[in-house]
Structure 1
Amino acid sequence: MTYRFGDFLRRHKYLIGAFLIPFFMMEIIAVIMEIQPFGNQSFMIVDALHQYLPFFADYQEKLQSMDRLFYSFHGGLGYNFWGLWAYYLSSPLNLIIVFFQKDMLNMVLSHLYVIKIALCCFTAAFYFYKRRGKETFSMIVFGMAYGFSSYIVGYSWNIMWLEVMILFPIILYGFEKMMQGKGWKTYCFALFLSLWCNFYMSFMTCLFLIIWFLLYEHQGVKKFFQNGFCFAFFSLLSAAMAAVVLVPAYLGIMQTSSAKWDFPKELWYGTFGDIFSRHFLGTKPLTMSVDDSDINLYCGILSLIMGLCYLLSREIKRSVRIRRLLVLVILFFSFNMPVLGYIWHGFHNQYGIPNRYAYLYIFVLLSMAYDGYCLVWERRKGQIGKILISLGVLGMIIGAAVYTAKDSVDQNTIYLTLGIGFVYGTFLLLYQKKFLQRKIAAGLLCVGFAAEIIVMSITGYMENGTVTVDEYFQDTKAIEKIKETYDENGSIRMDLASGRMLDESIWHTLNCMTLFGSTAQGNVVDIMDQLGFYTGVNEYLYEGSTPFTNNLFSMQYQIYRPFDSKPTTFQPMDTVGTLTVYKNPYLTSIGYGMKRTIEDWNYESSNPFYVQNDLAQKAYGISGLFRIQDVLRPELHGCEMVQDNGMGEYVIKNKTSLADNVVFTIRAQETGDVYIHFDCSQAENTVIEKNGEEIMAGRLNGQILNLGEMEKGQEAQVKIQLEPEARDAGVVRMTIANMDDAVMSELYGAMKDQSFQMTKFESSEVEGKIVRKNSGITFFSIPYDKGWHAFVDGKEVKTMAIGDAFLGIPTESGEHEITLRYKSAGFTEGAVLSGVGFVLFFLMAGLEFRKKKISKMRRSFSEKYDTLEEAKEE
């Protein structure tokens, strides 16, 4: 056994090195950058901090408590956890988090990140090995060119994408085997895993595979259709096996804001020169960019030279070379064409992470380059010319790219690219002229290429930066203590007054309102905006509440930090460490009985106070909750008023960005709490002062703000700084309101009288009772979702969407027992499809195995029979 294992290690030392070398290199980078446990830093930057880590925390809690994965109340008032899991968390590798404590998640995910990048290098090297049938050091280096490309270095904080990058080389290897009639299982299973791990990025892989198939070198028309049938059948089989993830994920994603198709109108983003310059040595990796033409393309300068050598290699059929070139051209043109980019991104806008499918281009280029590299060592007529032409063409392309680029290209990157290209060319020419032996020349070339890749990856990770763990997670234990004290049964809603990261409340697994994620329901985002909360394309945060919405959404506790200065109507209860817990003075419920007229609620006004007033009127027949006050004309500095539209709306054109471009004076017209709401798309920063002291600052537009209690005639100032680059006229809209305390008390009484009394609360099931004075609608502060099934007194009733966003149930007068149960829409159908898919997969694999075994037995029997016959004749 020991001999066999040692023999295996010797035979596959380069393949093993293809994983271990990048793995240890990444661990060295982790040590240098003081990643936990080597310091207090984390690789989890950008949205990995603001979204993915909180979602992992929720997933970890579900795994460790053996909770169902269908639904979670730990964000967004409740969300389809299975849909979110399918988008962010479905990789089997993520199951490792179940073995660790929550405070170790940053460390675990940072090193899981290291493993995934090493696996990217390994699978690429495996593909190169299978293409050439020989293990060499060069395949390790070209594998590293893939795993340490600027695309993976820049975008690897999207940790849930990496499985797709890992599996892509295996899918291509399986595809080629299948086209050659050597088996379908590798392709089918690898594509299934990719679809399972991340359906969104796998869509790009699938789109690429269609192009790859159409441009594949089929042997005649008949073979084209035979291959086409295999390709279609086994691709669909892969999708069927992953259907339990794909079907619910698709239904969930179709409820998001980005589900609406909106094809771009522009023909081009910029110039192809700008795009090609992203190949240059020394270019910084992009982690995010609002410019959709930005891209990460660097994968080593040797890959460009060898790619050109491949195109000039007569050893490879011209038609094959042309087809490969066409694939690259299609991808390259797509990078600069908004319509094609929109299609590649699953008919979605790119939202700050441009050209996510560039990994396809990089790997195709590297596969061509590796073939070119393997062929360049043959000393034959024309090789020197091929190398010189490749170097010359590359020089001309670089020159053309620099000349045509709209954005200025860093001169250092040009010199570095030309310089390293000259060095590689010199090594190749010295070998062809027999000044260097093959081993020495290949060694120099590979070591130089590896050094280039390693230096670029290290500088890239340094450029990306890290996250200081204690800076963001120092309150984790204190908030756990607060949960234990105030939320023993896990049914109480509470949220942070402000989070250090956007989804921090989800990190603490609070039953909160905050949700920032790609699976956030578009209708809920819209209604939260109408109600006065801060929202984005795929987010709504607990910023903009009023006493009415706090009661409506059953928000019972707020957690304040020392730096939180926003006024609150909640009452202080306790201090835990540096945190202060505030309690809602009103008793709240997750559900309330309302009049049927709630179906006529007018929630489309741009004034959130009107929206809340109409809600109170339609639900309970109570009017006048908020009284709108007059808005004084603002003072302007460094900008000019183009138009006064009345009702507090102004069109303003910026000239110079100042801290006080637009200054509104808020004068209380009566004593009491004053609320404001302003929209200003060009706002850079806002400062609110009262009594000469700053009470709020930062990104404050687009949400209701409580200025606290003000005496009649007292003033406050809202100072808005406009964006420096904002030169076109923009609209500023200010609304001021006072809340009538007497009306609020009356409204609270009406809500309390018909509140839902909860008796059971689980992640996917809620039970309780309600006493209705009149027939109407029972409102639940739970986002409407087709996965919810409602039972009134044991009988299932049809659910409805209140305000197109919240769950509602028609109920008659009297006392009723209500049960809500959740199962992700499409899960049952997807599970059936997956079951059928797996049965087909194993049945076909079993039949194939049996057929091969019988064929082998027949051959063996035939050989033995022939031997016996020969013996008889003798």
Structure 2
Amino acid sequence: MKSKKLVYFLSFLIPLLIVSGYFIFRSFAPFGSSSVLTVDLGQQYVDFFAFYKHAMLNDPSSILYSFQKALGGNMLGTWSYYLMSPLNLIFLLFPMKLLPAAIGIVTILKYSLSGLTFSIFLVHRFKEKSLSVITFSVSYALMGWMVANQLNLLWLDAVILLPLIFLGLEKLMHKKWSPLFIISMAAMLMINYYMAYMIAIFTTLYLLLFTIPLVKSFTEYLKHMMRYIGNFLIAVLLSAWITVPTFIALQNSKVAYSSNELKFKFEYNPLLMIGKFINGSFDFKQMPNGTPNLFVASLVIFAFIYFFVSPRTSKIDKILSLGLTAFFILSMCFNPLDIFWHAFQLPVWYSYRFAYIFSFWMIVIAYKAYLSIVHEGLNRRALIISSGIIALGLLYILVNLSKFEYLSTDAFTFGVIYVVATIALISIQDIIPTVRILQLGLLILVSGEMSLNLVNSLNNISYLSSSDYTKFAQMTEQSTDILKQRDHNFYRVGKTFQRSKNDALTAGYNGGSNFSSTLENNVSKFYGDMGNPNGDAFVVYTNPTLFTDSLLGFKYLITENPFATKSSNTIFNTLTNLNTNRPELSAYNLIDRNAYLDTYQNQNALPLVFRSNLKNTHPKYQNDDPITYQNELANSFGMTGNLLTEISPYDFTAENATPVNSLNNAIINKKLLLKKAYIGAKIKIKAHSSLYMTINEQTPVRDISITTNGVKIKQFTPFKHSVIVNIGNSSNHTKIFDMNISTTKQNIWLSSIKFYQLNQQKLANWAAKIKQDSVKINQTNSTHIVANFKHQDNKTIVTSIPYDSGWHAEIKNKTVPIHKWANTFIYVNNPGGAKTVKFSYRPQGLLLGIVISCITLIITLTSTAIVRRRK
């Protein structure tokens, strides 16, 4: 082919047609009612994309900070990991109801752009404009890693940029500087620092090895290294505007709670990697902890091996390439190197995330070998050795097929067919009239093989329908939009159900749950302390009490409509998961009811900023005891005595089980094997009280069923600390509850189960006393809050804003220091009794990063202009 543009166009078009064809076949939006939403893309990223659209169009300040992230948090780190892809701008063109369709379009484009950039690399690096460029570009765009990780949409930009970065690196090896390397690496750092880190490792290793044959002395070698460091440093400094504040934010989030113990061991038998070179070698079980996704075309596998056994490959090239290859292979099975590639944070799901770089490396090496075959002829000895090695690999898979659970017999058979067809086509190249016919045959063969892998791999995964997301979004927005119309003050919204932990990001309200790699560690710890489920990257506000609702400003609570029609109830149960019962919501005021949801108002909710005689900013409580923790919190804000008091069950019963005299640490021993076992008790609480039960992480909630007065108790799982579960409520008279616990297991230990009642009147009096100090809060955007109190008072100014050094407080036009209460939230001393306090937020490091980037850009552009002028 004579036209570069045609090569580029076809390298872009063929992956687009293949992926679009499959999407049409599966009815993925925008071509049907299904969608590409699955696993994290459906449970996490789609909510971030909805937030992206809201932030860009309605509230740009939320790019820096948002109260929709759990109780509030820095968002710049979230943007730099999840949302900086330029292709995300496409989301702005679509209404919310078509967001799954927009995600489908962006996914297709990322496949296509990967093929385009790889073809650009091959054309410029090897000075080729043949059909073979398209063939290898298709293999790259549709490689197994790309297919397996299409649900991790935020990572795919790395596959697009890697060929450009590598092309720039190769130019840098022969010149003093490479604008292409600097620009593409800076872009990668801005789009996704995590993937950029992996690429940086690769480019550094490549340069360290492949500079050796280019230099004549160690001094010259060092000059090449310094040249690389200088260019890389420019890229880093250009991206400093986002990487500096992101790095600081990570110190308070992922870095703070992550710890990995190096284990000098192999994680699995390295030979098991071979199975991933067969098409369709991926399924759902491979996501949590499978082997690396390495699938590339049979042509690539053959040519890659051929490169190392061909006598036409230079010895030094073989040695250096083999060294880098060995390092890659070792990294994908040896624990310390695996952790090293993942920035010393062992991945949770999606193992060996850097495997796309090895696939890139294989394809580049294979293309070199292929050009040797085309231009210098096929070496028969190398052909036989390469074919023999592949045959041994296939024999190993066949003998151990049971170990490769993800491989079907049909997939293996087709794998063999494609290998044989590829080797056969290459073997007869000498008798093919023209090279173009060989190249066309290989293009068709590779396109078919990559298409089959796409189909076989993605057919193993289930997906959400497009309407599952949009219907849920419309359902929650119907309730939250009413709140926005009636209440223009700051408030938080709790709920008893969820589609995902990031529902608040989709509907645009201040919720209490979040799932994000950049979740602040102090917020997560606070959730665990107060008896809510939490983890390293998530918190859920599923186990509140009336006290935490009040203290944290959860003014509105949304739950399912118990009187919904059968059809509405079916839709609700299809789209959501009910995480908790909250019978205590009857203590709140019902203010809205629609076909699906009820909305309650909490009259005891405190404002975001209030004044109080804060006594103890660090509750001293017994670890993993949320009841004591909440009582001490209440005491620190002036409440006397315990708000939550323990009560004891009585009148114990047992059916098909050994009798018990306590539910706490009880053991259920079943008598008759085929019947359920039941134990029960009665619990009496006073008028105007809420009944709670505490359970811990050892309580076998999956193996038991708990009911109170016949109502089954729901509980979010997993949880790693004790949690508080609301199981009952009384109004103006005492109430007795029948507690029943059943199981089908033979023996069950209930671990720690205790019961408490909360005095609602005591809570109401406490909240009313604090709210007497009237305050008006003016929140102009997510980063500026002004609180105006009606009267002067020197009480402490307290907030439920999570502590972050980026927050600044100002009283009487003077900056005052912020402090922590409960080691989590901001408070400010106010000895002068000022009536107004202003809070503003700027991410730490943002200004410094912007200054660094601007200075670097100015110096770089000026230097370039001077050099060009001299020339």
Same fold (TM over 0.5): yes
| Structure 1 match to 2:260 | 262
Amino acid in the other structure paired with 1:387:
L
Report the Cα offset of residue 401 of structure 1: 6.3
Q: 1:223 to 1:22 in 2, by over 3 A?
A: same
| Structure 2 match to 1:858 | none
Q: 1:459 to 1:849 in 2, by over 3 A?
A: farther
Query: Cα deviations across residues 309-362 of structure 1 (Å, max 9, x unaligned)?
Result: 111233332112221222121121111122211121111120112111111111
The answer to which of 159-168 and 664-673 deviates more is 664-673
Report the Cα offset of residue 39 of structure 1: 1.8
Output the CA distance in 1 between the equivalents of 2:864 and 2:674.
Answer: 70
| Structure 2 match to 1:865 | none
1:199 aligned onto 2:193:
yes
**How do 1:368-387 and structure 2 match up within 5 A?**
368-378=365-375, 380=377, 383-387=379-383
Tell me the matched-pair count. Answer: 835
Output the CA distance in 2 between the equivalents of 1:268 and 1:48.
Answer: 31
Output the CA distance in 1 between the equivalents of 2:652 and 2:333.
Answer: 43
Q: Please list every run of 5 or more consecutive structure 1 residues that lacks an aligned counterpart in the other structure.
A: 1-7, 855-874
Q: 1:287 to 1:302 in 2, by over 3 A?
A: farther
Report the Cα offset of residue 589 of structure 1: 0.7
Q: Secondary structure at the match of 1:377?
A: helix
1:738 aligned onto 2:763:
no
1:792 aligned onto 2:811:
yes
Report the Cα offset of residue 774 of structure 1: 7.2
**How do 1:672-821 and structure 2 match up within 5 A?**
672-681=689-698, 683-684=701-702, 687-696=705-714, 699=717, 703-709=723-729, 712-719=735-742, 732-754=751-773, 756-770=775-789, 775=794, 777-812=796-831, 814-821=833-840
Output the CA distance in 1 between the equivalents of 2:650 and 2:297.
Answer: 61
1:670 aligned onto 2:688:
no
Q: Secondary structure at the match of 1:684?
A: coil
| Structure 2 match to 1:128 | 122
Q: Secondary structure at the match of 1:342?
A: helix
1:185 aligned onto 2:179:
yes
| Structure 2 match to 1:251 | 248
1:624 aligned onto 2:617:
no
Q: Secondary structure at the match of 1:675?
A: strand
Q: Secondary structure at the match of 1:717?
A: strand
Output the CA distance in 1 between the equivalents of 2:650 and 2:307.
Answer: 71
Report the Cα offset of residue 573 of structure 1: 1.1
Report the Cα offset of residue 170 of structure 1: 0.5
Q: 1:323 to 1:733 in 2, by over 3 A?
A: farther
Report the Cα offset of residue 519 of structure 1: 0.8
Query: Cα deviations across residues 390-410 of structure 1 (Å, max 9, x unaligned)?
Result: 011222244456768993454
Report the Cα offset of residue 129 of structure 1: 2.1
Query: Cα deviations across residues 734-779 of structure 1 (Å, max 9, x unaligned)?
Result: 2321112232233223432456531334210110134799755432
Report the Cα offset of residue 40 of structure 1: 2.1
| Structure 1 match to 2:600 | 582
**How do 1:184-583 and structure 2 match up within 5 A?**
184-218=178-212, 219-220=215-216, 221-259=218-256, 260-265=258-263, 267-285=265-283, 289-291=287-289, 294-378=291-375, 380=377, 383-400=379-396, 407-408=403-404, 410=407, 412=409, 413-432=411-430, 434=431, 438-488=435-485, 489=488, 491-562=490-561, 566-567=582-583, 568=585, 569-583=587-601
Report the Cα offset of residue 422 of structure 1: 2.2
Output the CA distance in 2 between the equivalents of 1:543 and 1:210.
Answer: 46
Amino acid in the other structure paired with 1:788:
W
Amino acid in the other structure paired with 1:648:
N
Is the 1:793–1:816 contact (alpha carbons within 8 Å) kept by the matching residues of 2? no
| Structure 2 match to 1:846 | 865
Amino acid in the other structure paired with 1:453:
M
Amino acid in the other structure paired with 1:793:
K
Query: Cα deviations across residues 120-171 of structure 1 (Å, max 9, x unaligned)?
Result: 1211222222232111222222112122112111112111111111101110
Output the CA distance in 2 between the equivalents of 1:660 and 1:161.
Answer: 48
Output the CA distance in 2 between the equivalents of 1:659 and 1:357.
Answer: 51
| Structure 2 match to 1:648 | 664
Report the Cα offset of residue 651 of structure 1: 9.5
Output the CA distance in 2 between the equivalents of 1:465 and 1:285.
Answer: 10
Is the 1:155–1:287 contact (alpha carbons within 8 Å) kept by the matching residues of 2? no
Report the Cα offset of residue 611 of structure 1: 0.7
Output the CA distance in 1 between the equivalents of 2:601 and 2:483.
Answer: 10
Is the 2:3–2:129 contact (alpha carbons within 8 Å) kept by the matching residues of 1? no
Q: 1:334 to 1:630 in 2, by over 3 A?
A: farther
Report the Cα offset of residue 823 of structure 1: 0.6
Match of 2:157 among 163, 173, 182: 163
The answer to which of 755-764 and 607-616 deviates more is 755-764
The answer to which of 279-288 and 240-249 deviates more is 279-288
- Aligned-pair Cα RMSD in Å: 3.4
Is the 1:472–1:501 contact (alpha carbons within 8 Å) kept by the matching residues of 2? no
Q: 1:498 to 1:222 in 2, by over 3 A?
A: same
Percent identity between matched residues is 19
The answer to which of 356-365 and 337-346 deviates more is 337-346
Q: 1:415 to 1:479 in 2, by over 3 A?
A: closer
Query: Cα deviations across residues 776-812 of structure 1 (Å, max 9, x unaligned)?
Result: 5432111111110011232211112222221222223
Output the CA distance in 2 between the equivalents of 1:132 and 1:92.
Answer: 29
Is the 2:648–2:683 contact (alpha carbons within 8 Å) kept by the matching residues of 1? no
Report the Cα offset of residue 699 of structure 1: 3.4
Q: Secondary structure at the match of 2:753?
A: strand
Amino acid in the other structure paired with 2:372:
L
Q: 1:251 to 1:705 in 2, by over 3 A?
A: same
Query: Cα deviations across residues 457-478 of structure 1 (Å, max 9, x unaligned)?
Result: 1232332333212223214345
Output the CA distance in 1 between the equivalents of 2:636 and 2:548.
Answer: 15
Query: Cα deviations across residues 790-841 of structure 1 (Å, max 9, x unaligned)?
Result: 1123221111222222122222373431110001111001101111121122
Q: Secondary structure at the match of 1:162?
A: helix
Q: 1:431 to 1:815 in 2, by over 3 A?
A: closer
Is the 1:273–1:405 contact (alpha carbons within 8 Å) kept by the matching residues of 2? no
| Structure 1 match to 2:565 | none
Output the CA distance in 2 between the equivalents of 1:536 and 1:695.
Answer: 22
| Structure 2 match to 1:13 | 6
Q: 1:634 to 1:207 in 2, by over 3 A?
A: farther
| Structure 1 match to 2:568 | none
| Structure 2 match to 1:592 | 610
1:35 aligned onto 2:28:
yes
Amino acid in the other structure paired with 2:8:
L
| Structure 2 match to 1:48 | 41
Is the 2:479–2:597 contact (alpha carbons within 8 Å) kept by the matching residues of 1? no
Output the CA distance in 1 between the equivalents of 2:422 and 2:16.
Answer: 26
Report the Cα offset of residue 285 of structure 1: 4.9
Output the CA distance in 2 between the equivalents of 1:632 and 1:344.
Answer: 57
Amino acid in the other structure paired with 2:500:
M
Output the CA distance in 1 between the equivalents of 2:158 and 2:603.
Answer: 50
Q: 1:350 to 1:687 in 2, by over 3 A?
A: same
